[in-house]
Amino acid sequence: MLGSVALAGPLPVTAIVRKTPVDFSGEVYPVLKANCIACHNKTTTKGGLNVETPELMKKGGESGTAIEPGKGADSLLLQSAAHQGDSDMPPKGNKVGAVNLTPEELGLIKLWIDQGANPGKKRVQQIAWQPLPPGLHPIYATAMSPGGEFATCSRANQVFVYDLASRQLAAQFVGHRDMTLALAFSPDGMRLASGSFGEVKIWRREPVAMPMSAAVKAIMDAVAKLQQASRSVGLTTLDVVFHTSAINLATTQMTAFKERVKKANDAIGDTQKKLEEKEKAMKAATDAKLAAQKALDEVKAVVEKAPKDKPDPVLAKKQTDAQTKLDAAIKAEGGAADMLRPAERAVADAKAEVPKVIQLQAKAEKTLTDAKAAQAVAQAAQKKANDEVAAATKLVAESVKAGGAVLLSPDQRWLAEAQPDGSSTIWAMGSGLPVANFVPKAGAKPALSWKPDNQLTWPADSGALVTQHMAPKWILERTMGTGDAASVITDRVNALGFSPDGKTVAVGSGAPSRGGDITIWDTVTGKLMQAIRDRHSDAVLSLEISPDGKLIASGGADKQLRISEMASGKLLKTFDGHTHHVMGVSWRADGRVVASSGADNAVKVWDWVTGERRKNLDGWDKEVTSVHYLGTSNRLLTTCGDKQVRLIGEDASAPAALAGTTDFMQSASASRSGQWVAAGGEDSVLRVWEAKGGAIMASFAAP
């Protein structure tokens, strides 16, 4: 019941009479949200005040507590809203469009405070899900299996898996109710994670069972050894380069310290010479003062003996002159002392510099010695890895030769094995699983071969081959998060990343302008292992776990790149430098360097070891939506809103654009070796390239 009584003040406050309690969530919060919370919230706390909960209002801000339970009229919140205090809220001409509260709204807030400002029951927002519009097909997320056998992308709420051997769609399934914004393969390629609003789903591959011949197994083992050896070469090369740089730096420091020692010794000689001159001047001034004092004393003695009743003008003048000389001598001695003290300090400083620089020189010598030793170890490891590559290459050739009817594709991703019935089975090298079976027409036994672009070919007179897909099914293994407003995963999932051992998956999410969270889950059990709340002050847009599995790099809409410890969730370092959203992050294979890309049209390369920015790369015309290090190289793969997919060195060397893109590019991914890359964007086409030469291998349009 609304009464007619109003409190005195610039704005009327209606007295509301009712016995039922005022519900904060259903009645008070909507009023505050409409006109107060825009300026007094978690991330924008003007005056230090947050009015999102009763507890925060009791805590208050710079002007003290905002509400006093049971005393509505005395509460700062009501006084400000009713324009009864020193500051009127909302202020005139505010930028968020807030307006004065109505008398009824003010009366409702007063009654709520008078009743004790009870928080009431927290209400969970119910989301009214609507079907996504038909024809909505932009690609916001891509992923490539570690071995490069499959490329996946999301379109709307569906996930598409493409077999790159047959270059056809292998699987398509509805992943979520909302847009799917993140995808990631596990390191073994047997699981695929997809993320959407408030949830992450883990899909497990269920491959077709088929016996493997000894020839196929031998070739697969040989290729696996070659791939591992090739990766070792890349990693050891990074090590050699790193230690070579350390040697160069230590050598430069050594040269600089030697020069400083020489200058310090020269300075000692120069300052000692000047000190000796000042000491001579000081001695002369002191001797002069003593002589003047002696002369004065002698005159005074004569004056003392002279008759007191008959002053002698000559003696008086002598005494005055002697005193004047003494005063001058004392002044001269003081001046000499003033000149002597800086000279003494200069000598002391010069002498003190030498041991300091010698200590730094010794440290640099040790650093140089250690760097040379580490370089020698790295070079030995590099040589060993190169020897292993040579041996593995030979083993592959021997295994293929011994295999007879088994054909290895030029890029060593697939094997084609001829069967007794004339068909050929295609095996994926990365997973060791069959992916397709090519069956000729009756009576024909075509001789299959691989084209240079890794496509199968056969004689034209053998007729068309029927492709029997043996692509695995993707079974939903588990769901993490509840997919609603109450989910432990806040708002939309924007980024996903598996740990190197595949045992955990990291999830980046957050409500825009409210906060950015990182949650870490057990891949097999689906158990929440770590919840790093508000790691960013805005939504987390990108993340990646370091190669050793100990760190996680995350980029947010708050313009920051942050490094956290996986085990504890502790924030270790914040890199400032981007002027807009950090949309992509990637660790280099050695874990020493991390790259980030942003909506400020730039890519930045950071030295994790020193904490310094190594390089700022530019040349993009719009948002750089993703960045990835390729394999064990220092080459970067980027996508951008300027319709380009680019490759570029972390030192800005050899920039190159991949052909075929036509629209705003949102996402890219690469195989573990970095040999193959995939990217997608607003034109809904998933394209796959061979990274080294830039040749496009496949193009998959939306169905």
Contact between residue 544 and residue 507 where contact means Cβ atoms under 8 Å apart: no
* pLDDT (average), residues 558-572: 97
**∠ CA 468-469-470, rounded to 5°:** 115
DSSP code of 20?
A: S
What lies within 8 Å, CB to CB, of 626 at 6+ separation is: 542, 583, 584, 597, 637, 638, 639, 666, 667, 668
C-alpha distances in angstroms, 53 versus 29, 49, 116, 490? 8, 11, 14, 18
Are both 599 and 583 inside the same structural domain? Answer: yes
Contact between residue 529 and residue 521 where contact means Cβ atoms under 8 Å apart: yes
pLDDT at 7: 41
- Residue 555's H or E segment, with its range, is strand 551-556
Nearest Cα neighbor of 634 from 228, 245, 143, 374 is 245
Residues 339 and 187: their CA atoms lie apart, in Å, by 74
Burial class of 649 by CB neighbour count within 10 A (0 to 12, 13 to 18, 19+): middle
Last residue of a domain, one of 470, 504, 519: 470
467 compared with 213, residue with greater pLDDT: 213
Q: Which residue has the tokens 């094995």?
A: 417
pLDDT digits (tens, 9 = 90+) for 315-359: 888 889 889 998 998 998 889 889 989 888 888 888 888 888 889
pLDDT at 1: 37
Q: Which two tokens stand for residue 39?
A: 């300026």
**∠ CA 598-594-367, rounded to 5°:** 145
Last residue of a domain, one of 402, 424, 449: 402
Contact between residue 27 and residue 108 where contact means Cβ atoms under 8 Å apart: yes
* pLDDT (average), residues 197-222: 91
Neighbours of 482 (CB within 10 A): 12
What lies within 8 Å, CB to CB, of 531 at 6+ separation is: 488, 517, 518, 519, 520, 569
Question: Omega into 134 within 30° of 0, i.e. cis?
Answer: no
577 pLDDT higher than 80: yes
Q: In what order do the strands lie in the sheet with 635-640?
A: 624-629, 635-640, 645-649, 656-658
* pLDDT (average), residues 195-222: 92
Q: What are residue 195's DSSP bridge partners? A: 182, 200
Are both 558 and 693 inside the same structural domain? Answer: yes
pLDDT digits (tens, 9 = 90+) for 371-390: 999 999 999 999 999 999 99
pLDDT digits (tens, 9 = 90+) for 460-512: 666 555 666 666 789 999 999 999 989 999 999 999 999 999 999 999 999 99
Task: Specify if 505 maps to a domain.
Answer: yes
User: CATH no. for residue 160?
Assistant: 2.130.10.10
Give the length of the chain: 703
φ, ψ at 416 (rounded to 5°) = -110, 115
Q: Which residue has the tokens 């509460």?
A: 75
pLDDT at 210: 82
* pLDDT (average), residues 172-190: 95
Are both 526 and 615 inside the same structural domain? Answer: yes
Q: Across all residues in the chain, what is the average pLDDT?
A: 90
With bands split at pLDDT 50, 70 and 90, how would you rate the model's confidence at 230? very high
12 pLDDT higher than 50: yes
Task: Specify if 128 maps to a domain.
Answer: no
Neighbours of 47 (CB within 10 A): 15
**∠ CA 432-434-435, rounded to 5°:** 120
Are both 319 and 343 inside the same structural domain? Answer: yes
Q: Which two tokens stand for residue 176?
A: 């979520």
Residue range(s) defining the domain that contains residue 409: 405-470
Beta strand extents in 186-283 (DSSP E only) = 191-196, 199-206
Q: Which two tokens stand for residue 8?
A: 């005195």
Residues 414 and 432: their CA atoms lie apart, in Å, by 9
Are both 450 and 500 inside the same structural domain? Answer: no
What lies within 8 Å, CB to CB, of 72 at 6+ separation is: 78, 109, 110, 111, 112, 113, 114
Are both 322 and 418 inside the same structural domain? Answer: no
Q: Which amino acid is at 653?
A: S
Task: Specify if 127 maps to a domain.
Answer: no
Q: With a threshold of 0.85, does the pTM exceed it? A: no
Task: Specify if 267 maps to a domain.
Answer: yes
Are both 693 and 670 inside the same structural domain? Answer: yes
Residues 593 and 613: their CA atoms lie apart, in Å, by 10
pLDDT at 695: 93
pLDDT at 6: 40
Are both 578 and 690 inside the same structural domain? Answer: yes
Helix-strand-coil percent breakdown of the chain, rounded to 5? Answer: 30, 30, 40
Strand bridging mode 449-450 / 473-480: unpaired
4 pLDDT higher than 50: no
- Residue 597's H or E segment, with its range, is strand 593-598
What lies within 8 Å, CB to CB, of 568 at 6+ separation is: none
Task: Specify if 327 maps to a domain.
Answer: yes
* pLDDT (average), residues 264-287: 89
Residues 696 and 659: their CA atoms lie apart, in Å, by 7
Task: Specify if 131 maps to a domain.
Answer: no
pLDDT at 307: 82
Are both 679 and 579 inside the same structural domain? Answer: yes
pLDDT at 468: 65
449 pLDDT higher than 90: no
Helix (H, G, I), strand (E, B) or coil at 147: coil
* pLDDT (average), residues 566-570: 96
φ, ψ at 503 (rounded to 5°) = -80, -20
User: CATH no. for residue 384?
Assistant: 1.10.287.620
**What is the tally of structural domains in the chain?**
4
Last residue of a domain, one of 374, 402, 430: 402
Q: Which two tokens stand for residue 493?
A: 């999932």
Residues 351 and 342: their CA atoms lie apart, in Å, by 14
447 pLDDT higher than 80: no
Are both 558 and 527 inside the same structural domain? Answer: yes
Task: Specify if 122 maps to a domain.
Answer: no
Report DSSP letters for 454-503, one per residue. S-EE--GGG-PPEEEE-PPEEEEEEEES-SSTT-SS-SBEEEEEE-TTSS
With bands split at pLDDT 50, 70 and 90, how would you rate the model's confidence at 120? confident
pLDDT at 8: 43
Are both 390 and 411 inside the same structural domain? Answer: no
Rg of the chain over CA atoms, in angstroms? 39
Contact between residue 508 and residue 543 where contact means Cβ atoms under 8 Å apart: yes
Are both 347 and 448 inside the same structural domain? Answer: no
Residues 156 and 516: their CA atoms lie apart, in Å, by 23
State what percent of residues in the chain have pLDDT above 90: 62
Q: Which two tokens stand for residue 661?
A: 């893109």
- Residue 370's H or E segment, with its range, is helix 313-403
Task: Specify if 134 maps to a domain.
Answer: no
pLDDT digits (tens, 9 = 90+) for 505-560: 999 999 998 899 999 999 999 999 999 999 999 999 999 999 999 999 999 999 99
Cα-Cα-Cα-Cα torsion 682, 686, 690, 692, nearest 10 degrees, comes to 20
